[in-house]
Structure 1
Amino acid sequence: MAESQAYPSTATCADSAFYIIYNAADDDFKQKKWVQRRIESLNYRVELAKKDKQLIGKLYYDFLLKGKVGEKRYISEYVGKSEYTLIDFWASWCGPCIASFPHLKNLYSSYDRDKIEIIGISIDTDNKAWNKAIEKENYPGCN
C-alpha cells in the first residue's frame, strides 16, 4: 500500500468527514452558500485528481502561457530542455497548493536544470494575488 493511502492527509480526512456530514444534513444546511461553495470546491478537486492520474507521463497540449512580467511563451519552450518537466497548476487561494511550495523548492534546488524544470501555472484570475503569492512564497521554477 502506498504511503499516501496508508496515512491519508488531514485535508483528505477533513474532506471525507465533510462529505459524510453533508450527505446526512438537511436541505437548509445544504442550501447555505458556504456549504455549496465547499462542495463545489471538493468536487472540483476530486475531478482534478482523476485527471492528474490520467495525465502522468502523457503528452501535453502546447498552450501559450503569460509570465509574471507579461511575457508570453509556449510550454514547448520549456519541455525537453531538462530530463523531466513538472507542470504544477496552483492558485494563490489554494492552501494545499501553497503548502506544496516548500517541497517544490526542495525538489528544484536538489537537481541541476538539465534534470528537472518546474513550470508553475496559476489558475488565479487576479494577477495581483498571483504575483504577490509568487513573491511571498518564492515559488521555484518558471511562472
Structure 2
Amino acid sequence: MKKIITIVAAILVVAACSKTNLKIEGVIADNRLDSKTVYLTNIDMTHLDSTEIKKGKFSFKCRVDTPKIVTLQIDMGQDEPIERQIVLESGQINIKIGADNEIDVSGTNLNDIYSDFWRQNKLLDKKYENALNISEKAAAEVDKEYVELGYNFARNNPKNIVGKIAFLSAYWGMSIAQREEIISLLDDNFKTDKKIAKIISNIEQEKKASVGQPFIDFSANDINGNEVKLSSLVGQTDYLLIDFWASWCGPCRKALPSLKALYDKYKGKKFDIIGVSLDSKKEDWAGAIERFQLKWTNISDLKHWDSYPARLYAISFIPNTILLDKEGKIVGRNLHINEIEDILNQK
C-alpha cells in the first residue's frame, strides 16, 4: 500500500512584513499562468498569503521565527492546482516551475534537504505504480524502500523539521527499535507534536502485542448485535488474521479483493479472518460488508480511532493486520498479502 507523504504539522506563521527575514522568488516557464494566483496555505488549506503571477514571476516577503512546512499552490480553476510543499525559513527561497509544471525549490538549507527527500519519494511513487502492475510482492518491496528512505532522513535530520516529516512519513513500517532510536534523537519540541506523542505512547502497548507475544483477548458486537470474543476463534484454525479496517479507509477498500482471494484459497482448518472495523456509523460498516461481500466474522465497537481492540494492539494506521498461530501466539504484524501467504504455506 502506497503510503502517501502527508505532512502533519501545525502551521502558525508569524507575519511581520516591516521586519521581513524571508523572501520567495518564483519564476514560471509557462506564460499561460500569468495572472493566476499563487497561495501559501496551511495544512488545513487556510490561506496564509497570496500573490499574482506577472510576466512569469511572483514573490512573497514575510517573517518566520521558526521553520514551518506550508504548501505553495497555484489556483488552476476547474483543474487540479499546481502545488508543492516547501519549508518557510529565513533567507531567500527560489521557486522554478518548468513547462511541465514540475516545481523545483532551492536556496535555503532546509529546502535543499527537503527537496532531496521529496524527489526521492517521487521516484519511489513511480516505482510503486509500476510494481503494482507486477505483483503484491513487488509493491511490498517498494514499501520497504519508502520506510528505509524515511528512516535514513529522520536519522540524519533529527533536529530539524525535515527529520520530523521523514519520521511521520515512515514510522508505520519501522521496527519498534528503529522508532525508539529516532524518537531518542528528535528535538524535544517535536516530541510534543500530537502524532509523535501518540506514536511514543503506542510503543509500550505495541511491545505487549509484538511478534512472539500471546494474543490479547477482546470482544465486540457483530453486525447483528451478537458479542464475539477473539478467544472463541483462536485455535479453531492453523492461523487467524485480525484485520483492522474501516469503510471510510480507501487503502482498506483497495486491499479487500486480495484479502478475499486469500480467504477463499485458504479458508477452513488452515485459515480464518476476523475483521475489526474502526467505523463509527453502523450503516456505513454494514454497507461495506454487504458491498464487498465479506464472509468472515466482522465486529466493531463503533468508536472510530478510540476502538478498544485497536488500542489493545497499538494500531495507529489502517489497513493493519495481526496474524495469530493455532496456539494464539502473534506471528506477524502489518503484513502484506504475500507475506501472509508465505507464512500459510509453511505448514
TM-score, length-scaled by structure 2: 0.30
2:222 paired residue number: 67
Q: Summarize deviations over 1:105-132 as a string: whole Å, max 9, x none.
A: 1111101411001000001111110000
Corresponding residue for residue 142 of structure 1? 297
Contact 1:64 1:72 in 2 (8 A): yes
Q: Which runs of 5+ in 2 are unaligned?
A: 14-39, 47-164, 173-198, 299-347
Task: Name the SS of the counterpart of 2:215 in structure 1.
Answer: coil
TM-score (norm 1): 0.68
> Could you say which structure has the larger radius of gyration?
2
Aligned mate of 2:210, from 55, 78, 103: 55
Overall identity of the aligned pairs, in %: 33
How far, CA to CA, are the matches of 1:57 and 1:88 in structure 2?
18
* Pairs aligned (count): 119
- 1:18-72 CA distances to partner (integer Å, 9 max, x unpaired)? 43xx77x8846335269xxxx9xx77x835xx85xx6345322111121011110
Unaligned runs of 5+ in 1: 1-8
Q: CA deviation at 1:89?
A: 0.5
4+ runs deviating over 3 angstroms: 25-28, 54-58
* Correspondence for 1:93 among 237, 248, 260: 248
Task: Give CA deviations for 1:85-118 in whole Å, capped at 9, x if unaligned.
Answer: 0000000000011111111111111014110010
Q: Which one-letter code corresponds to 1:89 in the other structure? A: F
User: Which amino acid in the other structure matches residue 92 of structure 1?
Assistant: S
Kindly provide the amino acid, as one letter, of the partner of residue 287 in structure 2: K
Equivalent residue for 2:280? 125
Distance in 1 separating the partners of 2:228 and 2:261 = 25
**Is the contact made by 1:119 and 1:142 (CA closer than 8 Å) also made in structure 2?**
yes
> Aligned AA for 1:106?
A
- Partner residue, 1:6: none
Q: Matches of 1:33 and 1:64 in 2, distance apart?
A: 39
